[in-house]
Structure 1
Amino acid sequence: MPKARILLVEDDRALVELLTFHLERADFEVGSTADGEDALVMAREMPPDLVILDWMIEGIAGIEVCRRLRRIDETANVPIIMLTARGEEADRIRGLETGADDYVTKPFSPRELVARVGAVLRRVRPALAGARLSYADLEMDLVGHKVKRAGGAVSLGPTEFRLLRHFLEHPGRVFSRERLLDAVWGHDSDIELRTVDVHIRRLRKAINAGGQADIIRTVRSAGYALDAEGRA
């Protein structure tokens, strides 16, 4: 299977090196530029499978690059993840309305960004996204519907599998019970919030069966996160 090509448009050299390292380690092919004009030329000459685009870059602003990419036939359907220090809701909405598929506010975890890249590609171009998710010593085979931890098989029910998949696609992020209900059970679900807690307990029991440390973090009054670094 060919590697998915990522075009990284970012003018912070240190961040480019860091993200390139993490993306290549996740088996993506990465090209980069700090300039908006160069990004448009590169994207047209060899359309990438996904663009990671900083809002504030040299030359043309990232938001304008996004708009132009959507007007070029070769890149009209290429997914775009925008990076920005802008955290205001109006800015996020503007970026999404311009054509971005996802939006990541700085500072962020490189592993989270890699997970977002995989999630977007699975949604729009499944053949390029790979069939596995991993975090710490957890591995999920999406095709075979299998989970391993530290090399040992983990037996999960369908709901726990979907719950773990959601966490693996967004490592480190804290999700409220309401958000988990929407993501795992669906917006129209009549499931009670406490049901989330029941399935979290089942998931914990399954993935910790071998005596490994608990990497599902409970955040009081906020929700749950898959977080190997933040566990007690």
Structure 2
Amino acid sequence: MTDTIRVLLVDDQQLIRIGFRLVLDAEDDIEVVGEAGDGADAIAQVATQHPDVVLMDVRMPGMDGIAATAQIVRRHPAVRVLVLTTFDLDEYAFGAIRAGASGFLLKDARRAELVSAVRAVHRGDGALAPRATRALLDHLAPHLGHPAPAAPASDPLAELTDRERDVFSAIAQGLSNTEIAQQLFLSESTVKTHVGRVLQKLGARDRVHVVILAYEWGLA
């Protein structure tokens, strides 16, 4: 039996929360455990409701979604944040990614896309398409505080095997497990195992965090 994915909805518009709740509660493996209208309330509810995934709007009055995401990720490392945005490749969405979100989703995403994104983020995959991954890399340089990624003093991938390095490189390109399997001639189950080991050895939250690390280390 699949464990139920506990979801917290955060948006200042009640109608949007209602719409997402109707979609997610219709799934057998997803349960909406709470709703919040701003970042401060979201932080409080994460502490009491213990969600697995937070659907987080970024533009809200009071504490916005970027600040709330940063605090939630810092206080509750196991919680995954999926950012909701109105515009594809929105600057606020990238700000939330840098703050620790595991991906972003358009508010007008289709039902199947919403459900798929929640499940992907819950299992540790990033909800970020390859095109968006490359755009994220383009946006990172001016916001990381230095004009170009600095080379690390030592090899940050020293603990990885050769195959795990290949998988790391593929993740940094924004490839899915299926695409990695095809590129490296591996089964998807083997890829999943390698991805898990890469995340563990690098201390990365998820695939999106790997992309950011790769850029910061000059390996993207």
Q: Which TM-score tier does this pair reach, normalised by the shorter chain?
A: 0.5 to 0.7
- Normalization by structure 2: what TM-score? 0.54
Between Structure 1 and Structure 2, the one with more strand by share is 1
Are 2:70 and 1:67 aligned? yes
Match of 1:18 in 2: 19
CA spacing shift, 1:94–1:45, aligned 2, 3 Å: same
Aligned pairs for 1:59-98 within 5 A: 59-72=62-75, 75-88=76-89, 90-98=91-99
Between Structure 1 and Structure 2, the one with more helix by share is 2
**Aligned match of 1:33 in 21, 32, 36?**
36
Kindly indicate whether the alpha-carbon contact (under 8 Å) linking 2:6 and 2:31 is maintained by their aligned counterparts in 1: yes
Please give the per-residue CA displacement for 1:6-27, whole angstroms capped at 9, x wherever unaligned. 0110122221111101100013
What amino acid sits opposite 1:108 in the alignment? Answer: A
CA spacing shift, 1:69–1:21, aligned 2, 3 Å: same
Identical-pair percentage: 27
Please give the per-residue CA displacement for 1:14-53, whole angstroms capped at 9, x wherever unaligned. 2111110110001322111112211111111232111110
SS at match of 1:123: coil
Match of 1:189 in 2: 183
Match of 1:48 in 2: 51
Segments of structure 1 that go 5 or more residues without pairing to the other structure are 125-178, 192-232
Segments of structure 2 that go 5 or more residues without pairing to the other structure are 126-172, 186-220
**83-92 vs 12-21, greater mean Cα deviation:** 83-92
What amino acid sits opposite 1:184 in the alignment? Answer: T
Kindly indicate whether the alpha-carbon contact (under 8 Å) linking 1:22 and 1:111 is maintained by their aligned counterparts in 2: no
| Paired residue total | 135
CA–CA separation in structure 1 for the residues paired with 2:106 and 2:176: 22
- Normalization by structure 1: what TM-score? 0.51
Match of 2:193 in 1: none
Kindly indicate whether the alpha-carbon contact (under 8 Å) linking 1:8 and 1:16 is maintained by their aligned counterparts in 2: yes
Please give the per-residue CA displacement for 1:72-120, whole angstroms capped at 9, x wherever unaligned. 1xx2221110001243465443221110001112332233111110122
CA–CA separation in structure 2 for the residues paired with 1:114 and 1:36: 23
SS at match of 1:52: strand
Determine which structure has greater relative contact order: mean sequence separation of CA pairs < 8 Å that are 6+ residues apart, divided by chain length: 2
Aligned pairs for 1:91-130 within 5 A: 91-123=92-124
CA spacing shift, 1:87–1:187, aligned 2, 3 Å: same
Match of 1:133 in 2: none
CA–CA separation in structure 2 for the residues paired with 1:58 and 1:119: 29
